[in-house]
Amino acid sequence: MIAPETNKFSPSYSLLIGKPVVLLVIIRQCHVPMACHIVGESAADVRVRIQSGWEMDVRKDLILAVEEVVSTGEKRVN
């Protein structure tokens, strides 16, 4: 059975899947930046990978901002 709310789902984080981002999340009235990779999205949550092997779901209503991390190549090791 498909829930009627799923047809209203707009994947706004899907363009950032697999990319390094910083989420600005509100936790107990504090704004906390969280460096992670977005690995999935549902209607209410965003699945993020904090470290290798450590993933968690973040409720979309707790995310205040998302910024993609762009590497300039200066810090890369060949």
Q: From first to last of the 78 residues of the chain, give the pLDDT tens digit.
A: 455 555 555 578 888 898 999 999 999 999 999 999 999 999 899 999 998 889 999 999 999 999 998 876 666 555
Residue 9 belongs to a domain: no
CATH number at residue 49: 2.30.30.100
Number of domains in the chain: 1
Q: Rounded distance, CA 42 to CA 57, Å?
A: 9
Residue 72 Rama label (left phi>0; alpha psi -120 to 50; beta): alpha
Residue 78 belongs to a domain: no
Instruction: Write out the residue range of the structural domain in which residue 53 sits.
Output: 16-68
- Give the predicted TM-score (pTM) of the model: 0.72
